[in-house]
Structure 1
Amino acid sequence: MSEIIQTLTVYALPVLFAITFHEAAHGYVARLFGDATATLEGRVTLNPLKHIDPIGTIAVPVGILLLSKLLGGPALLFGWAKPVPVDFGQLRRPKQDMLWVALAGPAANMLMAIAWAIGLRILFDSGERAGFWFEMCQAGIHINLVLMALNLLPILPLDGGRILFSLLPNRLAWQYGRMEPYGMWVVIALLATGMLTTLISPLVAGGEWILRLFL
């Protein structure tokens, strides 16, 4: 039990920060491109209380960690926050600007992974090779790379789906958009069959290559 509590403590802040920065980035970039919806609702903030979803931010990550510890297997740790409201119709160029709003979330996770990697390097250079903060930095890198990779999958309503929608010609984009109600079921099916890890692995590897520039 003490090992589980220690693991939860190590992962708590990285999960909270990863999801909070991801959502705040969406709202901030949406404001830059003309939609102030998230700002007016107080969601362009780093206050985690504004973004926490009891299920996605707490129950799901904790459940995954507990199961991984009990079963002794690796954890594909992920979660989500309350989606930041974006009125794409308010963007100056709705379809084109959607790309930048969607890309902001994964980009924020990549930047956070870099920040955790720099922290890990500082600890390593100071002679610390283990301990609470060392493990937290490792957890921060892992969580942010997984969230970045997961959200870049070209499946609506994930960010990657929005990016693909923005890049497709209009006719194909609207046809593709009709798949959005089924997108999360696709993600769940991929997770249940173990295919999700396979699909995001190249994206995680790409993020790790970038991180090696800072380590």
Structure 2
Amino acid sequence: MDGILSYIIDALYSLPGILVGLSFHEWGHAYAAYKRGDPTARNLGRMTVNPLAHIDPLGFLSLLILGFGWAKPVPVSTRNFKSPRKDELIVSLAGITVNLILGVAFMIIWIVLICLPWSNEILNTMVQYCYTINFGLAVFNLLPIPPLDGYHVAQCLFMNAKTYKFFGFVEKYSYVILVAVLIINSRTHFLNTIVYWLMMPLMSLASLILSIF
């Protein structure tokens, strides 16, 4: 019973970070595409931070249960880009960049909250989850597996006549590969380790600031 209660509490703490992280991530793609000349996502109502426009049920549950997940991919028409490969690369990296910015922003908010005399433990923990989830989304989306952003980045950088078959193979078995990665991570926590490495310098800085007060 304690395990179930602990899981429910953990899920409630995670929920704000998941909704914010996924929504702003997809908004980042839509906004970047619009700025590069493609209004497709905006016209379909995806250039918004409303979670209902972006949530993928399977990706949402995966993030809630396994700690890593995804949202519905933002539709992009590369025909509208002036420099298709360059612009697609920018759009692919936009969501990850937004998550990194949010991660840093939430960490700063957490530092401020910790320093306040009326600091609230529940709010502090929720904000901690917010920055951890956003850093986690950034790392997870860098994996070169469809439908994640890292795959589109890899395509933009390495797709040619020699690698065409390889990318086709990855696309064909993408969900098998993705599930395998999630299962491996549930046992080895290698993605969590990468997130920790990413957060370490910022956590050290936070500790230094907190030691002053």
Q: Normalised by the size of structure 2, how large is the TM-score?
A: 0.83
Structure 2 residue aligned with 1:72: none
Alignment of 1:1-215 (within 5 A): 2-57=5-60, 59-62=61-64, 64=65, 76-127=66-117, 131-168=121-158, 170-172=160-162, 174-178=164-168, 179-194=170-185, 197-198=189-190, 201-202=193-194, 204-209=195-200, 211-212=202-203, 215=206
Count, aligned residues: 201
Q: Is the 8 A contact 1:153 1:200 kept in 2?
A: no
CA RMSD of aligned residues (A): 2.4
Contact residue 25 and residue 95 of structure 2 kept, 8 A: yes
Unpaired segments ≥5 residues, structure 2: 207-213
Rate the CA distance shift 1:60–1:187 in 2: closer, same or farther, 3 A.
closer
Gaps of 5+ in 1: 65-75
Q: How much has 1:53 moved relative to structure 2?
A: 2.5
Distance (Å, rounded) in 2 between the aligned partners of 1:37 and 1:114: 30
Q: Name the aligned partner's letter for residue 198 of structure 1.
A: F
What is the identity percentage for the equivalent residue pairs of Structure 1 and Structure 2?
A: 34
State the AA in 2 paired with 1:105. Answer: G
Cα distance, 1:181–1:197 mapped onto 2, change above 3 Å:
farther
Q: Distance in 2 between matches of 1:2 and 1:193?
A: 26
Alpha-carbon distance in structure 2 between the residues aligned to 1:82 and 1:209: 30
Q: TM-score, normalised by structure 1?
A: 0.82
